[in-house]
């Protein structure tokens, strides 16, 4: 495959899988944000809420490791989720949230978003090339997970 700075024989820039992936990802990111924003969620907040719902009672340290963030960063997210009514938390040391669980409203929201995201996935990856890309992205995600780490 020619490097991305090279030109094809007809003078067009050579194909770059990195540029193509980022371009496609940006389109999906915008559409995903449109699903999340009405609920005061970002992709990161959504991921933390999912983690809280699937594994209630995690410590901030556990949530931070799963979110690849700091405890303080996750504490800010948890406070926002609590303020939105999607989660509840007790009070831990230094006033930080502790024993975080998803509320019924939070679980119902995740169920609704799961269906909407599945529809987005079906639209985005419905072609044969899209299905191949979905399979490849799944393989990349599995390979990037630390050895022995559980699937979320």
CATH number at residue 55: 1.10.10.10
- Cα–Cα nearest to 33, from 22, 44, 24: 44
CA distance 126 to 142: 21
Write out the residue range of the structural domain in which residue 49 sits.
Answer: 44-137
Residue 95, in any domain of the structure:
yes
- Quote the number of domains for the chain: 1
Domain annotation covers residue 31: no
| Phi-psi group of 72: left, alpha or beta (phi > 0 → left; psi -120 to 50 → alpha; rest → beta) | alpha
Domain membership flag for residue 24? no
Angstrom distance (rounded) from CA 110 to CA 4: 40
Which pLDDT band holds residue 5 (cuts at 50, 70, 90)?
low
Residue 110: name the closest of 68, 150, 50 by CA.
50
Whole-angstrom distance, CA of residue 6 vs CA of residue 12: 9
Q: Would you place residue 83 in the very low, low, confident or very high pLDDT band (cuts 50, 70, 90)?
A: very high
Any domain includes 131: yes
Lowest-confidence pick of 45-54, 55-64, 107-116: 55-64
pLDDT of residue 6: 67
CA–CA distance, 40 with 48 (Å, rounded to integer): 13
Average pLDDT of the chain? 86
């Amino acid at each position: 495959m020619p490097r991305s700075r090279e030109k094809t024989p007809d003078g067009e820039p050579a194909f770059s899988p990195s540029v193509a992936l980022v371009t496609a990802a940006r389109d999906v990111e915008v559409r995903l944000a449109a699903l999340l924003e009405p609920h005061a969620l970002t992709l990161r907040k959504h991921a933390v809420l999912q983690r809280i719902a699937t594994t209630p009672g995690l410590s901030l340290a556990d949530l931070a490791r799963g979110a690849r963030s700091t405890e303080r960063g996750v504490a800010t997210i948890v406070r926002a989720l609590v303020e939105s009514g999607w989660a509840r938390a007790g009070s831990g040391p230094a006033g930080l949230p502790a024993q975080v669980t998803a509320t019924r409203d939070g679980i119902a929201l995740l169920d609704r978003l799961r269906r909407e995201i599945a529809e987005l996935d079906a639209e985005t990856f419905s072609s044969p090339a899209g299905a191949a890309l979905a399979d490849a992205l799944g393989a990349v995600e599995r390979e990037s997970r630390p050895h022995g780490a559980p699937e979320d």
